[in-house]
């Protein structure tokens, strides 16, 4: 009997592990449907499946294949009673059917996770912490695409795309497709090829806030709120907090008499971006104490946004305008 579970919030690695396990169970060069050693694949989704159909499929020999793979995605969204029914069916065992399920987590009160863990058939995939994602990106670029991606440029990619490993991998695939084979991935490539509209929106808004361009701030902010962050203005506040924190660090170093060539290597941003977006000019627009006050204000603003204290967009726009 083959019954394996793939758990966690890292959907990319979870899916890759599932596909690898299915391929291993089927064996190399699995034959086409209709031959003596062929294998069919059936996929169910916990949120809208009828458990009886999965049970019937498990217990019924396919007319055109000798073996069968049954995949149940989002097992944890299947009704608990229906989970129990299917567990009993699958427990009967079948050498010709492999069962593979995915879920964020399994009910700890059920005997299923304990049994799967005891048999070495439970695999967990948790998203890495955000500060570890650049390292993951660099490793992924090297191992899957054969390209170099340094940690600073990987951080830029993370800032643009967000924390979804699936989306990040999609952008790596895009870069690999359009760039000359075997070359490194650089900041300029990321700016040119990775969601260009989104890139412009993020950096343009940060620059208008940093340089205190009141006339340009509102169009840049509305571009974000109407597109990439329509339902998540608090994410814009989070991004701006990180940017202002960088500008505070730069301002502090400037006040200490450090030169640009000494400051740039200490910023976790590609030099290309630091120069193009005029980070040092932005830092000079306010004294260090003002940057600190803005950071305190932004932190409070983010919490208030999450609490729903700004139900109307004009209120959000006015709050950001007050920080220019």
d(CA 173, CA 110): 39
Quote the tokens at residue 190: 């990321």
Question: What is the domain range of residue 41?
Answer: 2-124
Please indicate, yes or no, whether residues 120 and 166 belong to a single structural domain of this protein.
no
65 shares its domain with 158: no
With a cut of 80, say whether residue 79 has pLDDT above it: yes
140/182 same-domain check: yes
Residue 179 contacts residue 145 (beta carbons within 8 Å): no
Last residue of a domain, one of 142, 164, 193: 193
pTM for the structure as a whole: 0.60
CA–CA dist 203, 275 (Å, integer): 12
Residue 202 half-sphere exposure toward CB, CA atoms < 13 A: 26
Give the rounded percent of residues in the chain with a pLDDT score beyond 90: 52
Per-residue pLDDT tens digits for 40-62: 899 999 988 999 999 999 999 88
Per-residue pLDDT, 30: 53
Give pLDDT, residue 66.
Answer: 87
Residue 18: predicted pLDDT? 94
Which of 100, 124, 148 is at the close of a domain? 124
CATH number for the domain that contains residue 52: 3.40.50.300
pLDDT of residue 89: 93
Question: Can you tell me the distance from the alpha carbon of 284 to that of 251, in angstroms, rounded to the nearest whole number?
Answer: 6
pLDDT of residue 240: 94
23-37, 87-101, 243-257, 310-324: the lowest-pLDDT one: 23-37
**Domains of the chain: total:** 3
User: 92 and 141 share a domain?
Assistant: no
pLDDT in tens, 173-205: 889 888 888 889 999 888 877 765 555 578 889
Paired with 72 in beta bridges are: 44, 101
Average pLDDT, integer, range 133-141 = 95
């Amino acid at each position: 009997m083959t019954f394996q579970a793939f758990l966690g919030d890292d959907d990319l690695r979870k899916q890759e592990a599932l596909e690898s396990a299915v391929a291993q169970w089927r064996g190399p060069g699995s034959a086409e449907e209709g031959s003596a050693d062929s294998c069919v694949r059936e996929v169910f989704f916990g949120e809208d499946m009828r458990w009886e159909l999965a049970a019937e499929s498990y217990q019924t020999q396919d007319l055109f294949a000798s073996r069968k793979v049954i995949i149940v995605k989002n097992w944890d969204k299947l009704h608990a009673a229906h989970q129990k029914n299917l567990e009993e069916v699958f427990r009967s065992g079948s050498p010709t059917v492999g069962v593979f399920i995915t879920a964020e987590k399994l009910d700890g009160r059920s005997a299923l996770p304990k049994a799967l863990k005891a048999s070495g058939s439970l695999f967990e995939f948790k998203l890495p912490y955000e500060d570890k994602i650049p390292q993951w990106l660099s490793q992924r670029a090297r191992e899957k695409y054969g390209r170099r991606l340094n940690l600073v440029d990987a951080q830029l990619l993370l800032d643009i795309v967000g924390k979804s490993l699936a989306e990040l991998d999609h952008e790596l695939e895009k870069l690999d497709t359009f760039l000359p084979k075997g070359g490194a991935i650089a900041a300029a490539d990321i700016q040119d090829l990775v969601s260009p509209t989104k890139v412009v929106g993020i950096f343009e808004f940060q620059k208008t806030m940093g340089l205190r361009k009141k006339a340009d701030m509102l169009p840049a902010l509305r571009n974000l709120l109407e597109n990439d962050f329509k339902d998540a203005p608090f994410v814009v506040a989070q991004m701006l907090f990180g940017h202002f924190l960088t500008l505070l660090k730069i301002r502090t170093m400037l006040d200490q008499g450090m030169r640009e060539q000494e400051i740039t290597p200490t910023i976790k941003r590609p030099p290309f971006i630091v120069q193009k977006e005029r980070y040092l000019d932005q830092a000079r627009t306010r004294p260090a104490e003002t940057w600190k006050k803005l950071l305190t204000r932004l932190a409070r603003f983010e919490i208030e946004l999450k609490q729903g204290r700004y139900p109307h967009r004009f209120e959000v726009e006015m709050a950001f305008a007050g920080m220019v």
